């Protein structure tokens, strides 16, 4: 019995772990990488240089935190065992230890330096704005978003969350529309282009956040803040208002559709011609195509997970 346990349990556990880690990727591939997935453990996939740096910094600090926590737990267990009253009836009266005191002063400083160096680099890259290929102005309202394109004749996109009936209708047409995230009008940006986002609000403080871009900035009435991103992969990427702003705070999603230059130009031309129906058709066609491509990727991921089991 024990031989069977030691032989098969590790294999089953490893296969289960791999399937669990791959499952979120498969689910995300089916509907686009820019949203949370059921049973997801890690963060949403990074599709911008800044988001990748944020993830790398997170992984570094997480490893340091785990190492420190493990060291403290092991040390506490050792002290509890080694210096119990039974094993150490006469307690030590040591009041200081120069080398030890030096070590626990210098070592934390070195750890903080290791954390600080990539932190400063990340902050510098976040707030060093490259020359923009496109500028968007995001305006927070209670409880919807407006996005203006000042470089293209002040096109304005008003974004509201879709209701359940609208989601069902879009799903029937083959357009993935996650509940509480899907919007009626997505903002559209070209792939591999630097986008500056100027952020403000009309009423109370909101927050413009898209996790896959590593973008999170307050929208403050009377003040313009900013962020930037360069999306390196086509698809739909969702965000939300991340600042408590009132009754319907949870229902202020953001949808960013990343497309090719040709599709972006067609979409802009349709809006400049005041043909919003044509602009919607262009995005719907792209959404169906991207969903089909993502479904093919999901099939590959699921097959890999099945083989691992």
Domain ranges in the chain are 20-93+129-309
| Average pLDDT of the chain to the nearest whole number | 85
Closest CA to 229 of 246, 217, 247, 241: 217
pLDDT at position 302: 47
Are the beta carbons of 258 and 155 closer than 8 angstroms? no
Which residues does 209 contact at the CB level (< 8 Å), separation at least 6?
Answer: 215, 216, 217, 239, 240, 241, 242, 254
Grade residue 291 by pLDDT with cuts at 50, 70 and 90.
Answer: confident
Annotate 36-70 with b (16+ C-beta within 10 A) or e (fewer).
ebeeeeeebbbbbebbebbbebeeeeeeeeeeeee
* Distances from the Cα of 173 to the Cα of 44, 79, 100, 124, 176, angstroms: 26, 64, 68, 44, 9
pLDDT at position 307: 61
* pLDDT over 90 (residue 231): yes
* pLDDT digit string, tens, across residues 169-213: 999 988 888 999 999 999 999 999 999 999 999 999 999 999 999
Exposed (0-12), middle (13-18) or buried (19+): which is 92, by Cβ within 10 Å? exposed
**Residue 34 gets which letter from DSSP?**
B
Rounded CA-CA distance 300/78 in Å is 48
Length of the chain: 309
* pLDDT over 80 (residue 304): no
- Cis peptide upstream of residue 143 (ω within 30 degrees of 0): yes
* pLDDT over 60 (residue 225): yes
* pLDDT over 80 (residue 249): yes
Rounded CA-CA distance 286/275 in Å is 17
pLDDT at position 141: 95
Rounded CA-CA distance 117/110 in Å is 11
Minimum mean pLDDT among 14-28, 89-103, 116-130: which range?
A: 14-28
* pLDDT over 70 (residue 8): no
pLDDT at position 297: 60
The residue with tokens 């349709």 is 270
Grade residue 38 by pLDDT with cuts at 50, 70 and 90.
Answer: confident
User: pLDDT > 70: what percent of the chain?
Assistant: 85
3-state secondary structure of 158: strand
* pLDDT over 70 (residue 14): no
CATH 2.60.40.420 fits 20-93+129-309, yes or no: yes
pLDDT at position 303: 56
Exposed (0-12), middle (13-18) or buried (19+): which is 191, by Cβ within 10 Å? middle
* pLDDT over 50 (residue 88): yes
pLDDT at position 23: 42
pLDDT at position 35: 87
* Distances from the Cα of 115 to the Cα of 66, 118, 121, 175, 188, angstroms: 14, 6, 11, 43, 36
């Amino acid at each position: 019995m024990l031989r069977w346990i030691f032989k098969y349990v590790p294999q089953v556990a490893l296969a289960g772990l791999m399937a669990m880690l791959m499952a979120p990727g498969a689910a995300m591939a089916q509907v686009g990488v820019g949203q949370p997935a059921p049973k997801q453990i890690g963060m949403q996939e990074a599709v911008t240089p800044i988001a990748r740096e944020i993830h790398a910094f997170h992984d570094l600090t997480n490893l340091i935190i785990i190492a420190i926590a493990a060291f403290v737990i092991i040390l506490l267990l050792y002290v509890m065992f080694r210096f119990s009253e039974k094993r150490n009836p006469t307690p030590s009266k040591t009041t200081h230890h120069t080398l030890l005191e030096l070590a626990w002063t210098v070592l934390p400083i070195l750890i903080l330096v290791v954390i600080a160096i990539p932190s400063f680099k990340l902050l510098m890259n976040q707030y060093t704005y490259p020359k923009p290929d496109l500028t968007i102005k995001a305006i927070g309202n209670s409880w919807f978003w407006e996005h203006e394109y000042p470089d293209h004749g002040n096109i304005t996109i008003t974004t509201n969350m879709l209701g359940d009936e609208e989601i069902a209708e879009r799903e029937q047409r083959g357009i993935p529309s996650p509940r509480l995230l899907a919007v009626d009008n997505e903002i559209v940006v070209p792939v591999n282009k630097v986008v500056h986002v100027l952020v403000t609000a009309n009423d109370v403080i909101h927050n413009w956040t898209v996790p896959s871009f590593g973008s999170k900035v307050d929208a403050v009435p009377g003040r313009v803040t900013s962020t930037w991103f360069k999306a390196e992969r086509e698809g739909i990427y969702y965000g939300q208002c991340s600042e408590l702003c009132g009754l319907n705070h949870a229902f202020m999603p953001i949808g960013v559709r990343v497309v090719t230059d040709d599709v972006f130009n067609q979409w802009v031309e349709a809006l400049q011609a005041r043909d919003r129906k044509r602009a919607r058709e262009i995005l719907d066609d792209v959404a169906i195509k991207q969903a089909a491509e993502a479904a093919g990727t999901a099939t590959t991921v699921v097959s890999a997970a099945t083989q691992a089991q």
